[in-house]
Homo-oligomer: A and B are copies of this chain.
Amino acid sequence: MIIEIDDPADPRLDDYCLLNDQAARRNREGDEFFIAEGYVSIDRVVDSGHELRSVLVTPSRVERITERVPGLADGDTPLYVMTRDLMASAVGFDLHRGVVASAQRRPVASIDDVAASNWNTVAVLEGLNDAENVGVIARAARALGIDALVLDPTCTDPYSRRTVRVSMGEVLHMPVARATTWPDDLERLHAAGFTTWAMTPAADSVDLWEAAASRPPDGRLAIVVGAEGPGLTDATMRATTHRVRIPIHPEVDSLNVGHAAAITFAAIARPR
């Protein structure tokens, strides 16, 4: 359903207001919606089965977006069309891709959901407040067969525009759970049969390849990684069952957190 809009204050555009303003942005985990920008991200919203609330494009993008998104030209989903200047005024900055969509959020899973699920391998992220790190780890997790992401209470919104884009939309294709009591929720994972690996460069840890070789093939495993710089908190290290390190050059301090996660995912996916 194509709708031309010429008032940037039109309330039908509320989902898109102040997209780029971290302080004022309305796209948060408590919101009903999330925002995807660019053709690839919007394609992934659609193929992941998330329901589109609306799409907003400049006039030159109408043809291409209606070709890509079934039912947009003549279905119920509004396709709002605005000039680029008006769009910039509505969203609060110049959206150079000229195509953005709002989609309905699904409820984030709980730790109880993780416990009750059939997910065997999960990636647990602590303190990752960088949208790109969460996005790139989600992409690697899905590519390498991890069943779900679990975020501690301080991790950034997994459905932020940048996270969705950097994940190449993969974050939309995997379950995401949010822990609420941290790090105590790790105990609930243990009670549900999970072994937990704290990934750390610390010397008093098990080599990744040994840990991967000695793990029960069908056992449940949670890989716990912390933010670049501080790494995992002491409380989380104490709350995990194992400490695991990726062997690195003795003069090098650490790996990038995304690299450490990806190598670990690949190591446990390796056929034995």
Contacts and interface: CB of A to CB of B under 8 A. Distances in A.
B173 A143 contact: no
11 contacts: A139-B259, A140-B259, A143-B255, A145-B249, A209-B270, A246-B266, A247-B269, A256-B258, A256-B262, A258-B258, A259-B262
A271 B140 contact: no
A128 to B, nearest CB: 16
Interface in A228-262: 246-249, 251-256, 258-259, 262
Interface in A119-157: 136, 139-140, 142-145
A270 B252 CA distance: 17
Interface of A: 136, 139-140, 142-145, 168, 170, 173, 209, 246-249, 251-256, 258-259, 262-263, 266-267, 269-271
Contact of A262 (B168, B170, B263): B263
B269 A266 contact: no
A252 B209 contact: no
B173 A142 contact: no
Given A259-B258, A263-B262, A263-B263, A142 B252 contact: yes
Nearest to A212: B270
A269 to B, nearest CB: 7
Contact of A259 (B249, B259, B269, B271): B259
A40 to B, nearest CB: 10
A10 to B, nearest CB: 36
Q: Please indicate which of the listed interface residues A136, A139, A252 has the most CB atoms of chain B within 10 Å of its own CB.
A: A252
A194 to B, nearest CB: 21
A140 B254 CA distance: 9
A42 to B, nearest CB: 16
Given A139-B259, A262-B262, 4 more contacts: A143-B255, A209-B270, A258-B258, A259-B259
